[in-house]
């Protein structure tokens, strides 16, 4: 057992490094990092099981930092275990530096995840804990039973509403592989915590079914005891509430205490305060980026312990693999990040079906053919038709993760963050469904999935005002424009940050799901109709969906006008085209399930589908801006919805709002 004095010295070392990195950057958050140093140090020096030589080891413990602003604490800790150099730490927040302000994830460097947006991070951890339970049940590999997910949360994360959803899920699913440390330091960005929060957090989590342990968060012995207790808990998650001192060890310029002060939340200690603090912690203000010899020894010893621990774990994994070669090969495949092979010929679509039902047919195939897929719904599985998947499996319950369906309850953001956490964990392919209008509840998570390039599949049904009977609250209008902005926003690999697909009929839905499953490098959004849609004309070449936009079968050569739409409006255009043809007009119909994908094609191809100079008419059930890139104002007009929807049966709304063949005819005639 390590000497408490050495542990305290190591925590001071972390405080010195974190405060110095922020000081050098002239920006960042020293206070929280200094307060949390004792916990992270005990965790890394005595508990966290990982292989320093094999960061990708699938059975490793994982540490998720919800308050990403405390990254200097994590980087400093990772310096102690050799994942970052002291020089790199000294480059905190600089252009091109690996020590970014809020790191997302970089497993090779030991960063499983930190969340910039408070609250999401600890729910990513909950998702990872679900993935570990799933893998334990579905592979039988004993290593996943041993894996522990550690989450670190702060006042901000507890205050964020998502913590309610996360706590509920972790409890109902009995996630005893999850240990969360709450850095309760009574201070936040602009106020003391007591000014905005009077809940009894311990009682709240106990009421939610968690094991709760309350300790002094800067006491290494208490931290150790709490972690031992937490590791022994069965059947429920554990919260360790640590009363921590913000800016522990900090002194002001005049030498008085600078602890528990809001000002240390988000600014360098500054000038003499910095110098006094570093001296107080036993560091050298002239040369602060150092690791003390006894701290080096502490972590060298831990590295040796980890060698022994990993050797035993690898031996256990090897024995399992030898006894279960097929399962072992399958597990390797699941963690390879490669897209699964799917025989789509098994997917039988009904004619003229709603695309949400067509999606159910696809999900049914996926449930049978992709054994590491997890599908979730926010209490809408029979409406969003994720029940196509559910019918082939069963939902997770406490102690039983042999199924593959995650009933998330009515908590769209929680569900999305859990799915992101599953993807971060690796080994599983998560998908989640709800109504499109409630994508609004999920945007912050979609953005994080996009930034981190995680292949989560978002299934959004009831895609337009045609859910009219429920009234305007349930009718998406501006949502497609919002999500299509994510197609325009490129990720750091130059790709549209989200693949967005709105298929035009049942067969396009199969093609869209195929693209979603092949896409392992960004999230995918599938936008699907509630109502039935007529099949596109016979002979349509659905392989062209992969080009994002294409000419629908039955189009005329040398068209007088090109009609453009996505989703169900394509069939309205087809009906309108019949009327125009009676007038002698030659008409081309173009379906654009994904403008982002279309723009990835060669300019020649784009021009062959939508040649400049030919009159165009676009129709969208969302805002006209959806089609603005495809139908330039100089070449035509766009029929869209420019107000909230109305309460009425959808066929009435189609008539009232102009989504009819007659209106297509009338609007196109105006172009001539
Ligand atoms: C969703 C979200 N809202 C706001 C912020 C901005 N922010 C960063 S830290 C912080 C205060 C957090 O206080 P606490 O979690 O107690 O951290 P500490 O001050 O103890 O370091 C705020 C509001 C954020 N990062 N995420
Ligand atoms: Mg705080």
Helix (H, G, I), strand (E, B) or coil at 412: helix
If we measure between CA atoms, which residue out of 154, 507, 188, 140 comes closest to residue 331?
140
pLDDT band at 568 (very low <50, low <70, confident <90, very high): very high
Pocket lining: 115 vs ligand 1, CB cutoff 6 Å: no
Ligand 2: distance of its center to the CA of 69 in Å? 11
Per-residue pLDDT, averaged over 297-302, amounts to 98
Pocket lining: 242 vs ligand 1, CB cutoff 6 Å: no
Pocket lining: 283 vs ligand 1, CB cutoff 6 Å: no
Pocket lining: 484 vs ligand 1, CB cutoff 6 Å: no
Return the pLDDT at 24: 96
CA distance 458 to 440: 12
pLDDT band at 436 (very low <50, low <70, confident <90, very high): very high
CA distance 311 to 365: 40
Phi then psi for residue 126, to 5 deg, are -65, -40
Is 368 considered catalytic here? no
Return the pLDDT at 222: 98
Pocket lining: 66 vs ligand 1, CB cutoff 6 Å: no
pLDDT band at 601 (very low <50, low <70, confident <90, very high): very high
Q: Which ligand is nearest to the CA of 266?
A: 1
The pocket of ion ligand 2, defined by CB under 5 A, consists of: 154-155, 185, 187-188
Ligand 2: distance of its center to the CA of 183 in Å? 7
The reply to whether the predicted model has a pTM over 0.95 is: yes
Pocket lining: 117 vs ligand 1, CB cutoff 6 Å: yes
Return the pLDDT at 186: 96
> What SS3 string covers 617-643?
EEECCCCHHHHCCCCCHHHEEEECCCC
Residue owning tokens 């994994």: 317
pLDDT band at 109 (very low <50, low <70, confident <90, very high): very high
Atom of ligand 1 at shortest distance to CA of 120? 1
Q: Enumerate residues 6+ apart whose C-beta is below 8 A from 175.
A: 126, 129, 130, 133, 149, 169, 236, 237
CA distance 576 to 573: 5
Ligand 1: distance of its center to the CA of 82 in Å? 28
Return the pLDDT at 317: 98
Q: Per the residue annotation, which of 412, 453, 508, 635 is the catalytic one?
A: 412
Return the pLDDT at 125: 98
Return the pLDDT at 421: 98
CA distance 299 to 37: 15
Return the pLDDT at 378: 98
Ligand 2: distance of its center to the CA of 185 in Å? 5
Q: Whose CA is nearest to atom 19 of ligand 1?
A: 188
Ligand 2: distance of its center to the CA of 521 in Å? 35
Pocket lining: 67 vs ligand 1, CB cutoff 6 Å: yes
If we measure between CA atoms, which residue out of 243, 317, 383 comes closest to residue 54?
317
Atom of ligand 1 at shortest distance to CA of 67? 15
CA distance 287 to 282: 12
Pocket lining: 259 vs ligand 1, CB cutoff 6 Å: no
Q: Which ligand is nearest to the CA of 36?
A: 1
Return the pLDDT at 527: 98
Q: Whose CA is nearest to atom 11 of ligand 1?
A: 189
Ligand 2: distance of its center to the CA of 67 in Å? 9
303-357: per-residue pLDDT in tens?
Answer: 999 999 999 999 999 999 999 999 999 999 999 999 999 999 999 999 999 999 9
Return the pLDDT at 193: 96
CA distance 328 to 323: 9
């Amino acid at each position: 057992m390590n000497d408490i004095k050495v542990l305290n010295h190591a925590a001071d070392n972390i405080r010195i490094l974190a405060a110095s990195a922020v000081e050098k950057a002239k920006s960042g958050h020293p206070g929280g990092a200094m307060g949390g140093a004792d916990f992270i140090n005990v965790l890394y020096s005595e508990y966290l099981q990982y292989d320093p030589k094999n960061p990708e080891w699938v059975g490793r413990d994982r540490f998720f930092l919800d308050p990403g602003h405390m990254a200097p604490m994590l980087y400093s800790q990772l310096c102690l275990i050799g994942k970052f150099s002291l020089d790199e730490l000294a480059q905190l927040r600089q252009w091109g530096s690996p020590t970014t302000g809020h790191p997302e994830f970089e497993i090779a460097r030991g960063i499983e995840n930190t969340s910039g947006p408070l609250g999401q991070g600890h729910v990513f951890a909950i998702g990872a804990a679900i993935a570990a339970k799933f893998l334990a049940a579905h592979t039988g590999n004993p290593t996943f039973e041993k894996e522990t997910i550690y989450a670190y949360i702060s006042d901000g994360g507890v205050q964020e509403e998502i913590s309610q959803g996360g706590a509920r899920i972790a409890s109902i699913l009995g996630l005893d592989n999850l240990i969360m440390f709450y850095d309760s330091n009574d201070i936040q960005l602009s106020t003391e915590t007591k000014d905005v929060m009077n809940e009894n957090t311990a009682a709240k989590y106990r009421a939610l079914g968690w094991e709760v342990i309350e300790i002094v968060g800067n006491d290494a012995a208490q931290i150790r005891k709490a972690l031992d207790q937490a590791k022994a808990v069965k059947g429920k998650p554990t919260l360790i509430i640590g009363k921590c001192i913000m800016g522990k060890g900090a002194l002001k310029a005049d030498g008085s205490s600078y602890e528990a002060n809001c000002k240390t939340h988000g600014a360098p200690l500054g000038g003499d305060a910095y110098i006094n603090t570093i001296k107080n912690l036993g560091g050298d203000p002239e040369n602060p980026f150092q690791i003390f010899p006894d701290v080096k020894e502490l972590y060298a010893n831990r590295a040796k312990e980890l060698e022994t621990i990993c050797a035993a774990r690898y031996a256990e994994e090897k024995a399992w693999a030898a006894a279960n070669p097929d399962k072992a090969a399958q597990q390797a495949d699941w963690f390879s990040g490669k897209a699964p092979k799917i025989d789509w010929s098994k997917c039988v679509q009904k004619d003229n079906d709603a695309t949400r039902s067509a999606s159910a047919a696809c999900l049914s195939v996926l449930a049978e053919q992709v054994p590491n897929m997890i599908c979730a719904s926010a209490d809408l599985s029979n409406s969003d038709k994720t029940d196509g998947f559910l019918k082939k499996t069963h939902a997770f319950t406490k102690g039983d993760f042999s199924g593959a369906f995650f009933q998330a309850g009515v908590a769209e953001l929680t569900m999305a963050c859990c799915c992101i956490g599953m993807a971060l964990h690796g080994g599983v392919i998560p998908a989640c469904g709800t109504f499109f209008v409630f994508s609004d509840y999920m945007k912050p998570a979609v953005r994080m999935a996009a930034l981190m390039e995680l292949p989560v599949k978002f299934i959004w049904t009831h895609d337009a005002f045609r859910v009219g009977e429920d009234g305007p609250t349930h009718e998406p209008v501006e949502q497609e424009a919002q999500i299509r902005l994510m197609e325009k926003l490129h990720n750091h690999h130059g790709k549209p940050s989200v693949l967005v697909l709105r298929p035009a009929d049942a067969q396009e839905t199969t093609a869209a799901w195929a693209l979603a499953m092949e896409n392992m490098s960004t999230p995918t959004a599938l936008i699907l109709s509630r109502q039935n849609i007529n099949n596109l004309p016979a002979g349509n070449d659905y392989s062209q969906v992969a080009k994002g936009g294409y000419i629908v079968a039955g189009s005329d050569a040398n068209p007088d006008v090109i009609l453009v739409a996505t989703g169900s409006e394509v069939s309205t255009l087809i009906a309108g085209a019949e009327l125009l043809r009676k007038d002698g007009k030659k008409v081309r119909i173009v379906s654009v399930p994904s403008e982002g994908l279309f723009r990835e094609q060669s300019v020649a191809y784009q021009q062959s589908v939508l040649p400049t100079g030919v009159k165009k008419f676009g129709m969208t059930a969302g805002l006209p801006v959806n089609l603005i890139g495809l139908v330039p104002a100089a070449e035509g007009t766009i029929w869209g919805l420019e107000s909230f929807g109305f309460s009425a049966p959808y066929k009435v709304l189609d008539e009232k709002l102009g989504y009819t063949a007659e209106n297509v005819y009338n609007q196109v005639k105006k172009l001539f």
